[in-house]
């Protein structure tokens, strides 16, 4: 990595003033976990190998249909976005890859993009296709759908776009494509609900046929929006049915925000893992709809319960357990780098707490129907302050003990505000 975005001496300087306190907190927690039959070093080592991908569309400031409020120095293209991803990786040390979105990240020279990333020590995770917007000059509109459109010419256009995304992904070193489509209807009677799914499966089979041998295809379900009466791939059941029909390379991706507020997402995770169809995640948080808020910012307990099922699923089937972890957020009122640092840490913390769970005791209480003790085993792990383990893992990987403090000390955003052209005010939308 020859293009260091964060001067190493800055991280050293910021860590030097925090190391004594960290070592004291780490040793104290280590003794406490020891008394509980756990091993703090085992958890630390697990966290050092844990990674969650950054969404390229989450590195710039996001917005809603109403407005977007750009900040000075935010990235204006994928090359600048990769620099910001490298800052998050340099400080947090658990986001080594970026998930791209096309045509938002389209470039003329894909090799130059790959070389830029390599220079920054960043890799590429799943590519995301986009047949939920019409592009300037696009021959046929996706207004009434894409992969499920009643017009075969529109479906062909959408299938070709997905295959083009696979080709770009192959050049970048990605190994998966995430297919989320907005297809659905706003009125009863507008759409043939079964015919739409038939057309979806036919189109997806053509995209599936274009997958390289070692690639996966992630099917992302979503309850609603932008369709507000029916959505073709609206829930995990439909996603699972399609993944099972399409083949081994097709798996289900769980975006936490794509469910009704009351849904038990951790049980969906357990079901998909049992079916060996748990392909990956888009982590975020929400209170009402697909709010795309920072992971763990509204309901950190749900994130913990999801990871509790993931740790259990890996224990049951270590060989088949390979979910792709990605963030998918929209940072409307924060510096995206600070939100990404916090969110990646929230995901790692949920994983760490799940590793603290005394699984043998939990199993015994569940078998004995000792409700309170079963609940208390989980709650005790959830109540464990794992931040010293995360900080020690970051420190030993060359990152920052306190990433936000180090980021602010770097004055990265202010420096970029001098270099990067300003983003126009008055736009709206997610990117
Ligand atoms: C749809 C979604 C999908 C992306 C988009 C940016 O809501 O979660 O994963 O393509 O957000
Ligand atoms: Mn998503």
pLDDT score of 177:
98
Q: Cα of 221 to ligand 1 centre, how many Å?
A: 10
- For residues 158 and 34, give the distance between their C-alpha atoms in angstroms, rounded to a whole number: 55
Model pLDDT for residues 353-372, shown as the tens digit of each residue: 999 999 999 999 999 999 99
- On average, the pLDDT of the chain sits at 97
Model pLDDT for residues 69-93, shown as the tens digit of each residue: 999 999 999 999 999 999 999 999 9
Q: What is the DSSP string of 286-345?
A: -SSSS--BPTTSS-HHHHHHHHHHHHHHHHH-TTT--PEEEE----SSS-HHHHHHHHHH
Which residues are close to ligand 2, an ion, with C-beta < 5 A?
255, 282, 328
Q: What is the DSSP string of 4-15?
A: -SS-HHHHHHHH
Pocket test for ligand 1, best of 282, 330, 430 (most atoms within 8 A of CB): 282
Sign of CA dihedral 371, 376, 381, 383: positive
pLDDT score of 428:
78
pTM: 0.97
Q: Is the CB of 335 within 6 Å of ligand 1?
A: no
pLDDT score of 3:
60
Question: Which ligand 1 atom sits nearest the alpha carbon of residue 182?
Answer: 1
Q: How many CA atoms lie within 13 A of 198 on its CB side?
A: 7
Question: Which ligand 1 atom sits nearest the alpha carbon of residue 255?
Answer: 8
Characterize the bridge pairing of strands 123-128 and 176-179: parallel
pLDDT score of 336:
98
pLDDT above 60 (res 1): no
Confidence of residue 425 (pLDDT cuts 50, 70, 90): confident
Q: Cα of 180 to ligand 1 centre, how many Å?
A: 7
Characterize the bridge pairing of strands 278-283 and 123-128: unpaired
């Amino acid at each position: 990595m020859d293009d260091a975005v964060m001067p190493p001496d800055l991280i050293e300087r910021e860590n030097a003033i925090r190391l004594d306190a960290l070592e004291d907190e780490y040793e104290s927690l280590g003794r406490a976990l020891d008394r509980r039959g756990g091993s703090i070093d085992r958890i630390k080592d697990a966290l050092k190998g844990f990674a969650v991908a950054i969404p390229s569309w989450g590195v710039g400031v996001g917005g809603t249909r109403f407005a977007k409020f750009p900040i000075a120095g935010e990235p204006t293209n994928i090359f600048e976005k990769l620099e910001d991803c490298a800052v998050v990786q340099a400080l947090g040390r658990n986001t080594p890859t970026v998930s791209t979105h096309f045509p938002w990240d389209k470039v003329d020279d894909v090799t130059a993009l790959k070389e830029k990333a390599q220079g920054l020590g960043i890799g590429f995770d799943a590519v995301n296709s986009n047949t939920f917007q019409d592009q300037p000059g696009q021959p046929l509109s996706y207004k009434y759908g894409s992969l499920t459109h009643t017009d075969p010419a529109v479906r062909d256009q959408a299938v070709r776009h997905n295959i083009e995304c696979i080709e770009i992904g192959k050049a970048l070193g990605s190994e998966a494509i995430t297919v989320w489509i907005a297809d659905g209807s706003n009125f009863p009677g507008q759409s043939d609900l079964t015919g739409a799914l038939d057309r979806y499966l036919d189109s997806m089979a053509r995209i599936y046929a274009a997958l390289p041998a070692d690639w996966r295809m992630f099917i992302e379900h979503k309850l609603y929006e932008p369709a507000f009466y029916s959505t073709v791939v609206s829930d995990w059941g439909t996603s699972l049915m399609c993944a099972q029909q399409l083949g081994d390379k097709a798996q289900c991706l769980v975006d936490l925000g794509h469910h009704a507020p009351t849904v038990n997402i951790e049980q969906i995770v357990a079901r998909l893992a049992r079916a060996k169809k748990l392909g990956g995640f888009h982590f975020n948080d929400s209170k009402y709809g697909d709010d795309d808020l920072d992971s763990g910012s509204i309901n950190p307990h749900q994130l913990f319960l999801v990871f509790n099922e993931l740790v259990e699923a890996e224990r049951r089937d270590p060989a088949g357990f390979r979910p792709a972890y990605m963030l998918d957020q929209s940072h409307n009122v924060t510096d995206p780098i600070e939100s990404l640092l916090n969110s990646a840490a929230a995901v790692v913390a949920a994983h760490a707490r799940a590793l603290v769970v005394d699984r043998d005791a939990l199993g015994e209480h569940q078998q004995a129907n000792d409700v309170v003790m079963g609940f208390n085993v989980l709650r005790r792990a959830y109540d464990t302050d794992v931040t010293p383990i995360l900080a020690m893992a970051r420190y030993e990987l060359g990152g920052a003990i306190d990433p936000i403090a180090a980021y602010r000390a770097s004055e990265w955003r202010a420096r970029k505000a001098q270099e990067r052209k300003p983003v126009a005010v008055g736009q709206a939308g997610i990117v």
